[in-house]
Amino acid sequence: MLHARLLRYIDEVARRGSIRKAAAHLNVASTAINRQIIAYEAEIGTQIFERLPRSVRPTAAGEILLRHIRATLKEHDKAQSEIAALNGLQAGTITIATFENLAANLMPRVTQTFRRIHPRIQVRVFSVFRQQLAAGLASGEWDLALGYNISDVPGSSVLHQFETRLGAVVTPDHALAAEGEVRLHECIHYPIIVGDPSMSIHGIVRDAFMQTNLPFQPQIVSSSVSYMKALARDGEGVTFMTKIDIVDEARRGELVYLPILDRGVRMQPLSLIYRKNSAIGSSVSRFAEEVRVELEQQLA
């Protein structure tokens, strides 16, 4: 079996499409990762990555190897969880601050999975606004924070980050849902439902409209994500969220996510952050891993 460290390197390079990005995420020198990959390619006698001007992508041989790597890493993580369950982490508390919709849609599944393995650990989830994150992390009130566009929060470091995209959210029988994707100019023929200016989604939607030279004139504004989704479920208009935000409603067939095709709509990085230069305890680290796994599954 390949050395565990090289397994992680190859997997991360493939996921990020760049040795440099993988190195930054893993906090390892890019030359070290590149050197190990080249040495392994020489050992097996074939390239596993095709080098492009600004990125890399797996070759056919690389795809075969990645299937083995990911299956191996999955089994390794499962074994670690089982060992942790046998040993039992010390009783304690994990605190995570996140946005309302992530608290409602993502965190229940993460918490349930984590507590099946670590029932002695108390999990505390707080729904907050972005502007509260820096103070809470600095004071140690929260171990972790999860949210959109928060990688630049002062005094924080990024543990995991995922790219998500803004989409229109409507009922499955809505006229816009037929094509499976939309442009913003199609949405303005229906009532627009958005978060109020205290929420990051307000600025994201406003900027998207401005970038496409469309008037931003929402008919319904609210600080409650649940309220906005309820109106969309009732067919009262179009709201805007990411795929992660409506996972439960989509599974129940209540709402659909329609990617917005306009070039002016930028990707929304979803980041899991922690206090800069602080040590991450074993229980917090394991919880963060559950967040990562759940997000990868939902975004697959």
Q: What is the 3-class SS of the chain, one letter each residue?
A: CCCHHHHHHHHHHHHHCCHHHHHHHHCCCHHHHHHHHHHHHHHHCCCCEEECCCCEEECHHHHHHHHHHHHHHHHHHHHHHHHHHHHCCCCEEEEEEECHHHHHHCHHHHHHHHHHHCCCEEEEEEECCHHHHHHHHHHCCCCEEEEECCCCCCCEEEEEEEEEECEEEECCCCHHHHCCCECHHHHCCCCEEEECCCCHHHHHHHHHHHHCCCCCCCCEEECCHHHHHHHHHCCCCEEEECHHHHHHHHHCCCCEEEEECCCCCCEEEEEEEEECCCCCCHHHHHHHHHHHHHHHHHHC
Q: Alpha-carbon dihedral of residues 77, 62, 15, 107, nearest 10 degrees?
A: -30
Main-chain phi, psi angles of 140, to 5 degrees: 80, 10
Q: How many CB atoms lie within 10 A of CB 66?
A: 18
As a whole number of angstroms, the distance between CA 261 and CA 182 comes to 6
What type of residue sits at position 230?
A
Instruction: Let me know: does 106 contact 156? Beta carbons within 8 Å.
Output: no
Taking Cα atoms as reference points, which of 239, 241, 196 lies closest to residue 102? 241
- In angstroms and rounded to an integer, the radius of gyration of the C-alpha atoms of the chain is 21
As a whole number of angstroms, the distance between CA 55 and CA 255 comes to 36
Token pair 């990688």 in the structure block, residue = 151
Taken in order of first residue, the domains within the chain and their CATH numbers are 4-85 (1.10.10.10), 89-157+270-299 (3.40.190.10), 167-265 (3.40.190.10)
Main-chain phi, psi angles of 23, to 5 degrees: -65, -40
Residue ranges, the chain, pLDDT below 50: 1
pLDDT of residue 85: 53
pLDDT of residue 144: 94
As a whole number of angstroms, the distance between CA 60 and CA 101 comes to 39
As a whole number of angstroms, the distance between CA 290 and CA 110 comes to 6
Q: What distances in angstroms separate CA 200 from CA 114, 203, 265, one per listed residue?
A: 29, 6, 14
pLDDT of residue 1: 44
